[in-house]
Structure 1
Amino acid sequence: MPILPMFPLGTALLPGAGLPLHVFEPRYQQLVHDCMAAPDGPRFGVVLIARGREVGGGEQRNDVGTVARILLDTEIGNGRHVLECVAEERIRVVSWLPDDPYPRAEVEAWPDTGSGPVDLSPLLGSLERLYDLLDRLTEGNAPPPPSPSELPDDPGERLFAIARHVPMGEADRYAVLSTPGPAERLEVLTESVATAIDLASWKLQN
């Protein structure tokens, strides 16, 4: 199984999402150096921290994550880096290896399971309602919702793309990331959008 450098973060990174990073810890400076020299390209795994902090080590980590590819590496002095990355495929950690000096893990790809069409029409309608509420909350400054024509054709990827536009906490985002396939993802995402609508409605009334 492939071994990847791993970067535990306080973020559940969904496939297709951008990831800016400011790297200042020496162990992760070494990770960036090793990634940029890797023959298969500058890639590392990202998992959500279950308990603990990003800085200092000793954190507890979730086992579902994504592969991030470094698109741009800017050195800003004293060994620090500013990275622009993008999340690619989803992975599961099979086993964690010793941090030497940074986290590493044996991983496996985790493509969606299950097939068949899913009806996204109710979800897209709810998303439009949510963005209408957000627009009212921000006095017209909310970004527009994603256009259906701009979303991927694959149902699973389409749902990940929608999820990237829904305001939610990291635990909810991780729940979306951890769904086995489109049907389960649709169910979790529908609940997240409904929660966001309830919260936005409450804020408008108070």
Structure 2
Amino acid sequence: MTTTRLPLFPLNTVLFPGLVLPLNVFEARYRALLRDLLDLPEGEPRPFGVIAIRDGHEVAPRGTGLPDETDEAPQDPTAGFGPDPMRSFYEVGCVADASTIRPRQVAGEAEEPKDPDERVASYEVLATGTTRFRLLSVDSSGPYLVGEIEPLEERSGEGAGALASGVLLAFRRYQKALAGANERTLGPAQELPDDPAVVSYLVAAATVLHTADKQRLLQAPDTATRLAEELRMLRQEASLISKLPSVPGAEYTIRPTSLN
């Protein structure tokens, strides 16, 4: 088994391969992570691991890795995740490549800081999901969490091509139900990919689902299994929406499910 170490960015969401992730990063520990990524040679990948937080496990708002403009004190990298971060995270995550990292400077400083990094208030990041990984352990000895990870190969599985066609049709009906539209008003269909793995990830990202549902799709053992689960979910969601008196908001379509 080949493993590697990767900086971790925990979030209350699931990132899929091929999908774009915009971030606005304020927290000290994640600013340190991004500074280290910026130190990598120009033109090389700047990878970090996005891992979803299990429902109910974060114990502080800043545990999500989202902005906290008021917190400038040195921070424990495990803050918000308890003494054993592994228990707070799902097992499978996605490697993200930070193609764009833009620092935003502190405004209105009376004196120039001795350390140029002190002038960076936040970073605007644009990253793209690349490959899945399994999280094996977490190192909290540095300024931010670092995971020992095992890359996961994407396997096709039996009948992935036929399942992808069915999922695209079901996704089209699901979009119509959400839009409250019929075939005459929906307009021409958008061009969608042919690759079953790409279809599986795009549909997983675009469907309104609870984080636990999306996580189950991310960690499916192969593309065919993921597509079969999506087909079931899409039919279920479209049926639910069609029985409601009006087009639902997210609160009607998000329902927690167990991974067990």
> The TM-score by the shorter chain falls in which range?
0.7 to 0.9
Q: Quote how far apart the aligned CAs of 1:189 are.
A: 1.0
1:122 corresponds to 2:182: no
Unaligned runs of 5+ in 2: 64-78, 82-87, 107-119, 248-260
Structure 2: which amino acid aligns with 1:84? L
**CA distance, structure 2, for counterparts of residue 141 and residue 82 of structure 1:** 38
**Number of aligned residues:** 201
SS in 2 for 1:15: coil
CA distance in 2, matches of 1:145, 1:175: 28
Q: Which among 43, 46, 49 is matched to residue 42 of structure 1?
A: 46
Per the TM alignment, residue 127 of structure 1 is displaced from its structure 2 partner at its CA by 1.2
Q: CA deviation at 1:124?
A: 2.0
TM-score w.r.t. length of structure 2: 0.69
SS of the aligned residue for 1:133 comes to helix
Q: Which has the higher strand share?
A: 1
Structural mapping, 1:10-49, within 5 Å: 10-39=12-41, 40-49=44-53
Q: Which residue of 2 aligns with 1:55?
A: 62
Q: Which amino acid aligns with 2:96?
A: A
Report percent identity of matched pairs.
Answer: 27
Task: State the one-letter code of the partner of 2:62.
Answer: V
2:61/2:80 contact within 8 Å kept: no
The answer for the alignment partner of 2:153 in structure 1 is: 111
Amino acid aligned to 1:172: D
Show the counterpart of 2:236.
195
Distance in 2 between the 1:88 and 1:167 partners?
Answer: 22
Secondary structure of the structure 2 residue equivalent to 1:93:
strand
1:98 aligns with 2:140: yes
Indicate the SS of the match to 1:194: helix
Structure 1 residue ranges, 4+ long, deviating more than 4 angstroms after superposition: 140-146
Aligned Cα root-mean-square deviation (Å): 2.5
Tell me the CA shift for residue 180 of structure 1.
Answer: 0.6
1:114 positional shift: 5.3
Q: Please identify the structure whose Cα radius of gyration is greater.
A: 2
Gaps of at least 5 residues in structure 1 are none
Q: Is the 8 A contact 2:177 2:238 kept in 1?
A: yes
C-alpha spacing 1:82/1:142, structure 2 compared with 1 (3 Å): farther
1:73 maps to which residue? Answer: 101
Contact between 2:15 and 2:50, CA under 8 Å: does it hold in 1? yes
Shift of 1:204: 4.0
TM-score, reference length from structure 1: 0.86
Matched position secondary structure for 1:44: strand
Code of the residue aligned with 2:21 in structure 1: it is L
Using the TM superposition, name which of 49-58 and 78-87 deviates more.
49-58
> Which has the larger displacement, 64-73 or 187-196?
187-196
- Return the letter of the residue paired with 1:180: P
Q: Report the alpha carbon displacement of residue 30 of structure 1 after superposing the two structures with TM.
A: 0.2
